[in-house]
Amino acid sequence: MTTAEENEALTRTGAGTPMGELFRRYWLPALLAEELPEPDCPPVRVKLLGERLIAFRDTAGRLGLIDEFCAHRGVSLWFGRNEEGGLRCSYHGWKYDITGQCVEIMKLKGYPLVERGGVLWTYMGPADRQPPAPAYEWIDVPPAQRYVSKRLQESNYLQAMEGGLDSIHSTFLHRGSVEDDPLLKRDPESAAMLKGDPSPAFLPLDSPGGLHICTRRKVGDDRYFWRVTQFLMPCFNLFPPYGDNPSGGHAWVPRDDDNCWVFNIDYHPRRALSAAEREGAKTGRGVHVPLVDGSFLPVANRRNDYMIDRTAQKARRTFSGVLGVGVQDAAIQESMGLIADRPAEHLVATDKGIVMTRRRLLDAAQSVARGEAPPGLDAAAQRVRAMSRVTPREMPVEDVLA
Ligand code: FES
Ligand SMILES: [Fe+2]
């Protein structure tokens, strides 16, 4: 069981908190590259780990992520002019470069911002501990093989990520929402194997950078159907595809303790995404979500009860009455409250992946507090793939994962 103290430690990510210090040791997705499309484009407000920041691309195309507020009188630099190699405050004209150095006088806080895989990544930790650039497989495939979107979720990052680790919920929450989706539809063989064993075994295993969350179903008398989802420190998931579908992934980045940025990734390691897959992603199918124009707020959100359709629910067209896999996840997870009350839970065997993830996060935060490096910073740990396969029953799990 997760205690109230552990729940605090797991969910608070401000500067100086145990989890905040852990998250600050990793490169984190901060924005989509398309949010800063060209030199001297408008600056963008970014809140991450409770810190209010401004991202901008200067005249030379260099990227910066600095304190949102001017050192002079605390005005938001979002109103600033981005010109001639820096961002100039609109109040009295103080000017800052991409590192936060004020050309006139002093320096604001500033973090590195690098573009990789269609995403702008930042590292908010101590400069002398900066890890190598992120190396997740989806970053390095050609752009034609990848699609990344972003949405705001109005809950703490952890309950959002725990939804991603809890594969059993698909059978209920997402029932009726995958059959005709170009990104999620199941091939007949997998669908038959899923149906064939309605009570899978859950076997989460530690990996160097997180967990392999293995779900094992019996096939006939002598085989197993394995599906392996990955958790990677501190806030990444990877999902196996069905058939030749693209693979999926998420990053659940704390915006503050009550909100998170959800980055949704589709990628195929071997082929370009098809026109139907790309169009599906753009229009909010698969793990993507239709957004209010000019924002990252989902069209269906808590203000409109996620546009729940009780008729569709009654007619069993969807299990929850909410449309779309991503909106279903957001609706259910936001309904737990801004920060889920973990001490009040009643966890069961199928929640083992969630329990182990909490343990990995707490252990890693303790390692950082002791002055050690956290796990999962190196490319070898990040280069894992979610997968599914059918094996003979006698194959040891290490070989299944190999
Ligand atoms: S407040 Fe920014 S220059 Fe005065
Ligand atoms: Fe889900």
Distance 174 CA to ligand 2 centre (A): 7
Reported in sequence order, the residue ranges of 76-209 that DSSP labels E, i.e. its strands, are: 81-83, 86-88, 95-96, 110-111, 113-116, 119-123, 146-153, 201-207
| Ligand 1 atom closest to the CA of 77, numbered from 1 | 2
Answer whether residue 104 shows pLDDT above 80: no
C-alpha span between 208 and 18 (Å, rounded): 21
The DSSP code for 274 is P
Q: Contact, 205 vs 401, CB < 8 A?
A: yes
Q: How confident is the model at residue 310 (pLDDT cuts 50, 70, 90)?
A: very high
- The whole-number pLDDT of residue 198 equals 84
**Mean pLDDT computed over 29-55:** 98
- The whole-number pLDDT of residue 85 equals 94
Nearest to 125 by CA among 374, 351, 309: 374
Q: How confident is the model at residue 262 (pLDDT cuts 50, 70, 90)?
A: very high
Nearest to 64 by CA among 90, 76, 82: 82
Residue 88 CA: which ligand is closest? 1
Q: Which two tokens stand for residue 345?
A: 């839970």
Distance 74 CA to ligand 1 centre (A): 7
Distance 157 CA to ligand 2 centre (A): 14
**Percentage of the residues of the chain whose pLDDT score is greater than 90:** 84
Residue 167 CA: which ligand is closest? 2
Answer whether residue 392 shows pLDDT above 80: yes
Residue 95 CA: which ligand is closest? 1
| Ligand 1 atom closest to the CA of 93, numbered from 1 | 3
- The whole-number pLDDT of residue 161 equals 97
61: left (phi over 0), alpha (psi -120 to 50) or beta: left
- The whole-number pLDDT of residue 247 equals 95
- The whole-number pLDDT of residue 116 equals 97
C-alpha span between 307 and 154 (Å, rounded): 16
Answer whether residue 353 shows pLDDT above 90: yes
3-state secondary structure 174-196: CCCCCCCCCCCCCCHHHHHHHHH
- The whole-number pLDDT of residue 315 equals 87
Q: Contact, 255 vs 265, CB < 8 A?
A: no
Q: Helix 325-334 crosses helix 157-165 at what angle (to 10 degrees)? A: 130
Quick one: the chain helix, strand, coil %, rounded to 5?
30, 30, 45
**Better pLDDT: 259 or 191:** 259
* 105 pocket-lining for ligand 1 (C-beta < 6 Å): no
**Mean pLDDT computed over 377-401:** 94
Answer whether residue 126 shows pLDDT above 80: yes
* 393 pocket-lining for ligand 1 (C-beta < 6 Å): no
Nearest to 402 by CA among 122, 214, 189, 152: 214
* 94 pocket-lining for ligand 1 (C-beta < 6 Å): yes
Residue 72 CA: which ligand is closest? 1
pLDDT digits (tens, 9 = 90+) for 72-96: 989 999 999 999 999 999 999 999 9
Q: Which two tokens stand for residue 263?
A: 């980055």
* 89 pocket-lining for ligand 1 (C-beta < 6 Å): yes
Residue 169 CA: which ligand is closest? 2
Nearest to 378 by CA among 207, 147, 205: 207
* 106 pocket-lining for ligand 1 (C-beta < 6 Å): no
**Mean pLDDT computed over 210-229:** 95
Order of strands across the sheet that contains 119-123: 27-32, 119-123, 113-116
The DSSP code for 107 is B
* Residue whose structure tokens are 């981005």: 82
- The whole-number pLDDT of residue 185 equals 87
Distance 69 CA to ligand 1 centre (A): 9
Residues 6 or more apart whose CB falls under 8 angstroms from that of 299 comprise 289, 290, 291, 292, 307
Report all structural domains of the chain as residue ranges with CATH numbers, in order of start: 27-129 (2.102.10.10), 137-401 (3.90.380.10)
Q: Contact, 313 vs 319, CB < 8 A?
A: yes
* 302 pocket-lining for ligand 1 (C-beta < 6 Å): no
- The whole-number pLDDT of residue 169 equals 86
3-state secondary structure 284-317: CCCCCCCECCCCCCECCCHHHHHHCCHHHHHCCC
* 103 pocket-lining for ligand 1 (C-beta < 6 Å): no
Q: How confident is the model at residue 40 (pLDDT cuts 50, 70, 90)?
A: very high
| Ligand 1 atom closest to the CA of 89, numbered from 1 | 2
* 271 pocket-lining for ligand 1 (C-beta < 6 Å): no
pLDDT digits (tens, 9 = 90+) for 132-186: 999 999 999 999 999 999 999 999 999 999 998 988 888 788 888 887 788 888 8
- The whole-number pLDDT of residue 318 equals 83
Half-sphere exposure of 84 (CA within 13 A, CB side): 5
Distance 87 CA to ligand 1 centre (A): 12
Residue nearest to atom 4 of ligand 1 (CA): 92
Distance 71 CA to ligand 1 centre (A): 7
Least confident among 35-49, 255-269, 312-326, 330-344: 312-326
The DSSP code for 245 is P
